[in-house]
Each structure stands twice: as structure tokens, then as C-alpha cells.
Amino acid sequence: MVSLLSLEGIGKAFPNGTVALRDARLSVRAGSVHGLVGANGAGKSTMIKVIAGAHAPTSGVVRWKGEEVSWRTPGAARRAGVATIMQHVPLAPTLTVLENVFLGAGGPWRLPRARRAEFARLLERVGYAIDPDAEVAGLAIGERQMVAVLQALATGAELVVMDEPTASLAEGERQVVFDVVRRLSAQGTAFLYVSHFLDEVLSLTDRVTVLRDGTVVEEGETAGYDEDRLVQAIVGRDLLATERRGAAPVAPDGPVLLSVRGLSSPAGVRDVSFEVRAGEVIGLAGLLGSGRSELLHAVYGSDTRARGEVLAGGRPVRRSPRAAVAAGMALVPEDRNAQGLVGTFPIWKNVSLPDLPALSSGRSLPREPAETARAERAIADLGIVCPGPEALPGELSGGNAQKVVFGKWLYGGARVFLLDEPTAGVDVGAKADILELVRRFAAGGGAVLVVSSEFEELLAVATRVLVVREGRVVAERAAHETSEEELLMLANGFGEAGFGAGGSGEGGAHDAA
């Protein structure tokens, strides 16, 4: 059977000497859903960029329907029938859904009436509804993802490449993406599906390719894999289920390190009160738009409009990030691309950025050896794949850049950690490492407040979970006494009264100070 797309002996070396792909192969059949998995830095994005015409391979052959091709631009790949949906969907925010979908499509769709008719046909094909005249800026992330899918289809794509399409989506939105992939593949569109969510890869794909250190280590029918085998292929060793999930820790009775009293903000936080003790990890469970990230920013003081009290170690903290840092708090934001790293600084400088005073002796300039040592520790602890502390963020894979941001805060003097989606975009091995570091940080006397869309992860790392809905804490559970299902129900607004009254044994919905 001729493959729709095949890569043979593909190599890719970057100017800095990094070899991202060596002798890599891939074969995607027409109408199939093909999974591509691998650890952070394994070469997935590089492979996608070669397919999309964004990177020229250093060696090897790309074939499209059996013919050798050399797409030198993304436009060339698109015209041939390959549409690539990258993680940070580059839609035009000020244009409408309709305008975005036909952006660059040309042909008969230049005429408004033909466009609307075609748009209706596309919606029917994917089984989805969206207002064509809505401005893209006002859409939720999941809806934008769908606009990108429609855009791909409007170009007549026979192969749609999706790079972590569900990374920032809530459960319901994920289902929409899965449904569309299933439906379109049944109609003959092929997909190359890249994800760190192995359950998605297992349930959605027909075949799977595993990349490790730039080489394909396995390729086969997905049906022949289970999660353990896939994890082993990805990380190259057995990663025990307990390592991945951890044992649910028990609530400690250390001193209160963080108190939040009556916190509200126009950003969507409403009268929230709770306390975090030394040794505790508190999970904030909520759906996208529930106000969970806004709550972290209100606690940290980066949302200056917030009202209410935040106390660190019993002392009130002024409402500013600077005051929060001085009080021993650190926030690792979700949007690490925008807020995380300085592109022109090497890793070592980025890692020590928040904490320069501690690393400098007296008034002299920061001492480089101490900084380099810290970066080397971060690289080792977090398994950051890079040439060394001198590497620039732009030379790292997405997941490894995330780990650098995490490392930035981990080795400072913070006692209270506010983490927003700490493992988004990182691979299974690194996820286990990061969760273990969070547990260790708490065991060492720190306090942690963590937001994650993956409730399983919250249960693995948290002592208690607060369920956030419409800006309020609507329920509280001891982690070992609840389940993903219950948290999902509570986050969706079901059973608040029924569960809240006596389910956890800790009583009531709030842990008011």
C-alpha cells in the first residue's frame, strides 16, 4: 500500500550543532490517524516542521503519494494537501471566524455567498456549530482550535498535522477535537497527531511512531500498545505507575504559611478564603474559565485590582508581585512563552534571573560559577535536554523550555509556590520528575498552590483539593477521599450541595480562616 506521506532517512542538524533527527522515518497512510510521541526534545516538532515545509532536512527523502517532494515553504506543503495546526494557533484575532477559515484559500471562496455556502458544508462535515460572524478574539481556546481545523479543511487538506491540539483544552473541548478527528478520518482525511497525552494517542490513533533522541525507536499498530509499553518506548526505561501518579500525601499540621481571606477581583475571583500549611500541596480544580488562574494571580498580587487579604507567614502582603516575592512567594505562570524566558539570555542567566541578589556577593555583579552550578542542577534535576547551560531558549524544544522556567523558581528562596499548569507540554518522564520535585518542596517545609487541568495529576500531588467554579471555591476534598470523577462533577456544578455537606470529613465548602 502506497503511503500518503513518507519520510525516509531524514536527518536534521541545526547550525549550533544539535542533531534533532537522524535517519528518521515515518509512513502515514491515507485516511489513517497516526500518532507521533516522544519525550521533550525527541524531535517531534522538528519532524513536523520538515513535513510542513518550514525546515529543510539535512538529509533524506520526503515522499507525497509516492513522489519525491521538497517543499521549501509552508505554502508549498499546503498547496500539495498538508495542513499543519501548530500549538499556538496563528489566527487573525480581529477577523471573523469566516474570514479566518478562508484566509489564503483563494479560488471560488473569494465570493461572499460561495464562502458562506462552503462554510456551512464544512460545518456539516465536521459536525460542529459556530457563528461565522463571531470575532476570533472573543473565542475560547477550544473554539479557536476548531477554526484552525476548518481552515485546514478549507485548503482541501488530505493530511492534517496536529501538534498537541488538546494541550490547553478542558475535558469537554477535548471531546470535540476527538470527535472531529474520528469523523474526518472516516471520510478519508489522514491525521498526524502529536501529543503527550498517551491515553489520547491510545484511543484515537491507528498507528503510532515513537521518537527518542531524534531516531524512530518503534513504529506499529496502536492496538499492540498499552500505556506502560508506550511509556517505556518513550523514556527508554520502565517508569512505574506509582512514580507517575505518586501516593496521595496526608495533610500535615505545620504552621500556616499562606492565608487568603475574602479575596475578590473583577477578573472573576469571588470571596475566596483558605489557608495552606507548611508541607501542604493544595490543588485548585476547575474548568477553563472557572477563575482558577485568576485566583493565583490575585493571591500573588499581579492582579492589582483584587480586594481582600493575603498573609504570608501571618504577615499581610502588599498587593504587588515584588512584595509577594519579598514575602517568599513565587508564581510559575501558565503562559510561559510570554512571561517566562528572556530569549537573548542563556539558560544559566534565565534560571538565576529571579534570584540575582542571593547569587551575588555583596555589591559585586552576580557570580557566574554559582549561577552556572544552579543551572546545571536544574538541567540534571529536571532532565532538560540541551547542549548545556549556555544554550538559548530558542534552541530548546517546547517542553524543555517549560522546564527551564520551572527551574527559575525552584532554586530560589521561595517558601510558597503558586504553580499554574506546571506540567503542560512536558513529557511523561518529566511530569513524574516535576511532581516529585513539588512533593519534595512541600516535604521540606514549603507550601504549594497548584492549578492543573488534569485532575489525575492534582490527585497525585495534592493533599487537599479546592474546587473552583465561577470564581468561588465551591467544595473542598482531601485528595485521598475523592476521585477524578467527583472533581469533574463538582467543577461542572453538579452535586455541590450533596457532596459539600459531609463528603470529605473536613466539612463544608470553605476552609475559612
Ligand X SMILES: Nc1ncnc2c1ncn2[C@@H]1O[C@H](COP(=O)(O)OP(=O)(O)OP(=O)(O)O)[C@@H](O)[C@H]1O
Binding site for ligand X (CB under 6 A): 14, 16, 18, 20, 38, 40-46, 385-386, 394-400, 427
CA–CA separation, 154 and 320 (whole Å): 47
For every residue of 450-507, DSSP letters joined together read EE-S-HHHHHHH-SEEEEEETTEEEEEEEGGG--HHHHHHHHTT-SHHHHHTTSSSS-
What's the closest the beta carbon of residue 144 comes to ligand X, in angstroms?
20
Q: 35-61: string of b/e by CB count within 10 Å (b at 16+)?
A: bbbbbbbbbbbbbbbbbbbbbebeebe
What's the closest the beta carbon of residue 386 comes to ligand X, in angstroms?
6
What's the closest the beta carbon of residue 43 comes to ligand X, in angstroms?
4
CA–CA separation, 306 and 319 (whole Å): 8
What's the closest the beta carbon of residue 431 comes to ligand X, in angstroms?
11
| Secondary structure class of 316 (helix, strand, coil) | strand
Pick between residue 283 and residue 346 the one whose CB is nearest to ligand X: 346
- Cα dihedral value 364, 326, 415, 347, nearest 10: -50
Pick between residue 38 and residue 340 the one whose CB is nearest to ligand X: 38
**CB-based closest residue to ligand X:** 399
Cβ–Cβ under 8 Å, residues 344 and 364 = no
Residue entry with cell 520526503: 62
Pick between residue 286 and residue 399 the one whose CB is nearest to ligand X: 399
What's the closest the beta carbon of residue 425 comes to ligand X, in angstroms?
7
Pick between residue 43 and residue 279 the one whose CB is nearest to ligand X: 43
Pick between residue 136 and residue 384 the one whose CB is nearest to ligand X: 384
For every residue of 326-345, DSSP letters joined together read HTTEEEE-S-HHHHT--TTS
Pick between residue 333 and residue 399 the one whose CB is nearest to ligand X: 399
CA–CA separation, 288 and 176 (whole Å): 15
What's the closest the beta carbon of residue 485 comes to ligand X, in angstroms?
29
Cβ–Cβ under 8 Å, residues 390 and 351 = no
Pick between residue 321 and residue 387 the one whose CB is nearest to ligand X: 387
From residue 95, give the alpha-carbon distance in Å to each of 85, 120, 123, 142, 144: 18, 18, 18, 17, 12
What's the closest the beta carbon of residue 78 comes to ligand X, in angstroms?
21
Pick between residue 40 and residue 145 the one whose CB is nearest to ligand X: 40
Cβ–Cβ under 8 Å, residues 8 and 61 = yes
Longest dimension (CA), the chain: 71
What's the closest the beta carbon of residue 66 comes to ligand X, in angstroms?
26
CA–CA separation, 25 and 217 (whole Å): 10
What's the closest the beta carbon of residue 408 comes to ligand X, in angstroms?
17
| Secondary structure class of 275 (helix, strand, coil) | strand
Task: Look at strands 215-221 and 207-212 and give their pairing.
Answer: antiparallel
Pick between residue 299 and residue 428 the one whose CB is nearest to ligand X: 428
What's the closest the beta carbon of residue 225 comes to ligand X, in angstroms?
19
Pick between residue 41 and residue 291 the one whose CB is nearest to ligand X: 41
